A and B are shown apart, each in its own frame.
Chain A
Amino acid sequence: MPQLVVRTRSGRVESIHHGYICVTDSDGKIRYSIGNPQARIFLRSSGKPIIANAFVKSGAMEKYNISLKELAVICSSHEGLSVHRRLVKSILKKVGASEKDLECGHKYPENQKVHDALVKLGKRPTPIFSNCSGKHAGLIALCKYYGFPVEGYSKIDHPVQQLIRGTFAELLDLSTEDIIQGTDGCTLPSCNLSLYQHSYLYALLAHGYGHKGSYNDSFGLIQKAMTTYPEIIRGKGTLDSDMIFFSKGKAIGKIGAEGIYCLAIPEKKLGVCIKIFDGHPWASYPVAVKILQELGVIDEWVVKKLEKWALPAVKDDKGNEVGYLHPVFSIVNNETGSFEPGDAFPKGGAPAW
């Protein structure tokens, strides 16, 4: 299994993260890969910008007068800030639904301040605080648009979920039966596809307007929403938002649970899918930044701005840096690490890296 990242402590390898990467262009050609591009994974939250196609293409956006910023929150795994919650509420209001209709469960928001404020109130978070509430609002809007019952929209056999399944099938030129769905953390179905297929979908997002496919306009608009409102996609000070902001839309990154990270690179019409096998929540960050560097998408200034994700620090309880998460692969040269725990690995890397 290919090694992508090592975690060091006091100049030694302490833990190792393995994973797969696939980089595909919008013609469906694999440009680079590490590991098996046909390995199947759940797309988890990285699927949100893809799912949003069903919404944009339906005409629901125009009917309910949904703004570009509201589209951004539909594609988001947001931090639960008031700006995010206001957008979700606004969508629900426009389509004649309410917070009570959200079926995303009770999850504390990622943002520490919002989390602490909720704890101080002594209340469990309502579904609107869930990082998935934007996507859920988009699905409710679709139910209203098509006259589907709103209740049960998160269930796998609900017509809106079959519509999403159909959208994936159409995008990948497959039959609906080929799209296997599982259950995501927010209760929605999540598609089980190959890394190759995931990276191709992100290549379509990267290409956007002008692609020959029938979803070119919806991908174009989704790309525009994500690059116009990076702070809505997750939150300022997170990799997803800061990557889009500092690269001025040259790199669009979207995290998914269990070690998934996807990238769309518009100027190169490339899509990237990363899966860290062990599901580590942030070992994918240095991998994503390294790929962008290697492909020449971001310059040193942007890398500097993304420094805390390019080489995440391991700290002790006094805040001293005692180690780092080092990427140990090259996507362009198809090289991966072959370290064992205990190997010497000074900051800045062992000789080859």
Chain B
Amino acid sequence: MVTLAAVTRSGFVESIHQGYICVVDGDGKVVYQKGDIDTRIFFRSSAKPIQVIPFIQSGGAKAMNYTLKELAIACASHTGEAQHQETVLKILERLGLDADQLHCGVMSPYNPEENKKLIAKNEKPTTLHASCSGKHTAMLAYCKYRGYDITDYENPDHPLQKEILKTLCEFTEEPEKSISIGVDGCGLPIFMLPVRKMALSYARITKYSQDEKNQYYDACRTIFEAMNAHPEMVAGTKEFDTELMEVTKGKLIAKIGAEAVYCLGIKNGNLGICVKIADGGERAVYPVVMQILLELGVLDKSEYSKLEHWHKFELKNYRDEHIGDIIPVFHLKEEVYPGKKI
């Protein structure tokens, strides 16, 4: 692993974050790398755009009248704001289900204002506030469409989970037997894959979304459209994923995962990117991703200026005075060749 970001205080390095980066193109060619990209990590919530593919590919999303906004929240780790709760609730009502049938568990909403509202009203959070409720709802919708049992959809042996795993294997060219399955924060099976393969899956989504002849063209194009039409559903107010897609208007898809995983697909060049901060420190992800986007030339000047605060992330004390920053401390553009020591 390689040192990727530093946390400064009063002009000194106070903490550091190490990690891995892989940038691949749609043919699986490694364009840039930092650290051992064959290191296996859990995909966590960055897997969501893949997990929704069987639903769209099968025609399930159309049959269940899923809108782009609803597909966006299926790919989301949302912040539990009213707009997210309403979107999920509306789908559940249409499906004739209620929030208790979501098996994602209950968590306090990530959005601080929403969380304060709940506390102030003396109310407990529900499954609707959980960041994964959109994905779980899409899984229920798919089960309904297929006529699968909806009471144990989180079981790794459930046909839905088997189909997701099969799709993942196709997009990553990773044999099923080499993918370890763990339990995600929301209780669903989650897959362990090499960093390189996670980047590849995003490169593939991106490539297929622009290749009319590909069998996944429709599904992948829909994912791109959904996440870019409704970035506010994918994360939430003042969140990185949301701001990044709002500002870049269709150039890319971006999705965070817990324990500092981050994946992106970039249309220009069909690039797939995976970042993992080894210590799980999410705060380091943003400056690192921004540095990559900058070096790849993905952002123009005006886009960069709107996102600059994520590149050099200001730290303040409790009197709101600027005391340090989280900054990237690497350059992507070193030549990569077999045998090079990284």
Contact = CB atoms under 8 A, between A and B. Distances in A.
A341 B182 contact: no
Given A10-B182, A122-B120, A316-B105, A40 B15 contact: no
A278 B282 CA distance: 11
Contacts of B105: 316-319
Contacts of A187: 317-319, 321
Q: Which of B14, B36, B180, B186 has the most CB of A within 10 A?
A: B14
Contact of A317 (B182, B187, B317): B187
A24 B309 CA distance: 41
Interface string A67-101: 00000000000000000000000000000000000
Contact of A185 (B17, B104, B130, B318): B318
B9 interface: yes
A194 B280 CA distance: 26
Given A15-B278, A182-B11, A187-B318, A316 B182 contact: no
Given A42-B14, A278-B17, A279-B14, A341 B278 contact: yes
B184 A15 contact: no
Contacts of B259: 7, 9, 14-15
Contact of A340 (B36, B187, B277): B36
Given A7-B280, A12-B180, A40 B321 contact: no
A104 B318 contact: yes
Chain B interface helix/strand/loop/mixed: loop
A276 B18 CA distance: 12
A33 to B, nearest CB: 19
A317 B107 contact: yes
Nearest to A119: B119
A216 to B, nearest CB: 31
B281 interface: yes
Contacts of B317: 105, 183-187
B39 A340 contact: yes
A78 to B, nearest CB: 15
Nearest to B7: A279
Interface string B50-81: 00000000000000000000000000000000
Nearest to B281: A278
A258 B6 CA distance: 12
Given A119-B120, A341-B41, A186 B318 contact: yes
A317 to B, nearest CB: 3
B276 to A, nearest CB: 7
B319 A103 contact: yes
Contacts of B14: 41-42, 258, 279
B269 interface: no
Interface string B260-282: 10000000000000001111110
A18 B259 CA distance: 15
A31 interface: no
A130 B318 contact: yes
Contact of A42 (B9, B16, B104, B107): B9
A307 B10 CA distance: 36
B42 interface: yes
B279 A278 contact: yes
B181 A10 contact: yes
Interface in B253-307: 259-260, 276-281, 284
Interface residues of B, number: 50
Interface string A305-321: 00000000000111110
A184 B259 CA distance: 26
Contact of B9 (A18, A104, A183, A320): A183
A259 B15 contact: yes
Contacts of A185: 317-318, 323
A40 B14 CA distance: 9
Contact of A120 (B7, B120, B319): B120
A341 B15 contact: no
Contacts of B107: 317
A10 B9 contact: no
B337 interface: no
Contacts of B106: 317-318
Contact of A280 (B9, B42, B182, B279): B279
Contact of B182 (A16, A40, A105, A322): A322
Contacts of A18: 18, 279
Given A280-B280, A341-B41, A119 B10 contact: no
Contacts of B284: 278
A280 B259 CA distance: 12
A43 to B, nearest CB: 11
B20 to A, nearest CB: 8
A185 B321 CA distance: 9
The 6 closest A-B pairs by CB, nearest first: A182-B10, A342-B40, A105-B318, A317-B105, A10-B182, A15-B280
5 contacts: A7-B280, A15-B259, A120-B120, A317-B107, A317-B130
Given A181-B10, A187-B318, A340-B36, 19 more contacts: A7-B280, A15-B279, A16-B279, A18-B18, A105-B317, A106-B318, A183-B10, A258-B14, A277-B16, A277-B18, A277-B279, A278-B15, A278-B16, A316-B105, A317-B130, A319-B105, A341-B40, A341-B41, A342-B40
